[in-house]
Structure formats: C-alpha cells, structure tokens
Amino acid sequence: MIEAKAALAIAETVLEKTRAAMQQGDSETFISFFNSPQRFETLSGDFLVRDVAGMREQIKQVCAENARLGVTRIKRTCIEAFSKSPNEIDCVYSTSLYAGDLLARAPHTTYITLGLIDDAWKILYTMYGAEPSESTTDALLRRAAAKPMLTLV
C-alpha cells in the first residue's frame, strides 16, 4: 500500500499535469496519462474509448466545449486520494472551469483510478459526477467500490 500522503501527492501531480495539458490544448500530453482502452462513466451511463484515436476525438470535443464556454482557466482540487494496492490509487477531485474570473460551468466531481504501468501513473478508469458535494463524493465512492475494477499486481 502507498501511504496517504504519497497517494495524495501522486494524484495531485497527475491532476496538475492533465489540467495544464487540457488548458493548453496539448492533447498528446493529456492522452499520455490515459491507459487504453479507457472506460468513462457518468451517473447516467458509460462508454469505452478503445484507442489513442478515440482519445484524440474525446479531447477534441472537450476542448471545443471549453472554447464554446470561453474557458480561460481550469482548477482541479483533490478531495480524497487513497491507495488500494502498491500499484493503484483511487482519487476523487472537483473541477471548476472559469471564463476570466467567472465560473463558466458549475463545478463537477470526478472519481478516477490510477495505476502504475511501466513506471508511470496512468488513469485506468474515470467516473464523472455532477457537482462537488459530500453526498456526490460519497455516492461516487460507494458506486466505484461496488464495481469490479481492474487491479494491478
């Protein structure tokens, strides 16, 4: 197991690097943090992105939506990060999108599982929530705990 402080530091590093890549429109760096295939889930359904080409399409859509909203700044805040094994970390974080000093969209909560693959931390699974509240965070953690997940050894 990874101690709590280290798990938090790893999760925050991945969140910061992917946030910066997203904000700069650097799709290749952003994609490099995801393992393929990648399963994305929302509270209303899920979808599978099978390869890098599919990831490029997803990031293109997200960047287009951010441009439509006039996003100038992305802020991510790690709410909780904990280790499931020496090679796996679960993390819940909130994302706020800003257009100047104003929120461009209400903050949303996300649950991810990170896995250590070839000495690099990659996102293995993503579940998007609606808004950052204790009830949403708890619901995401309960739902994720109930799902069979990939466990790295």
Asked if residue 42 is part of any domain, the answer here is yes
Give the residue among 69, 93, 68 at the shortest CA–CA distance from 80: 93
- Is the pLDDT at 152 greater than 50? The verdict is no
The number of distinct structural domains making up the chain is: 1
Residue 100: the pLDDT is: 96
Residue 139: the pLDDT is: 54
Residue 1: the pLDDT is: 87
Residue 62: the pLDDT is: 86
C-alpha 132/C-alpha 141 separation (Å) is 13
Asked if residue 107 is part of any domain, the answer here is yes
| Residues 11-16, mean pLDDT to the nearest whole number | 98
Residue 93: the pLDDT is: 96
Q: Per-residue confidence at 145, pLDDT binned at 50, 70, 90?
A: low
Residue 131: the pLDDT is: 45
Residue 41: the pLDDT is: 87
pTM metric for this prediction: 0.82
Q: Which domain holds residue 73?
A: 4-146
Tell me the per-residue pLDDT of 26-74, one tens digit each, with 9 for 90 and over: 999 999 999 988 888 877 788 888 999 999 988 888 889 999 999 999 9
DSSP class of 37: E
b/e code 94-109 from CB counts within 10 Å (16+ = b): bbbbbeeeeebeebbb
Asked if residue 95 is part of any domain, the answer here is yes
Residue 106: the pLDDT is: 86
Tell me the per-residue pLDDT of 84-125, one tens digit each, with 9 for 90 and over: 899 999 999 999 999 999 999 889 899 999 999 999 999 999
Asked if residue 153 is part of any domain, the answer here is no
| CATH number of residue 72's parent domain | 3.10.450.50
Asked if residue 151 is part of any domain, the answer here is no
DSSP code per residue over 75-104: EEEEEEEEEEETTEEEEEEEEEEEETTEEE
C-alpha 63/C-alpha 66 separation (Å) is 5
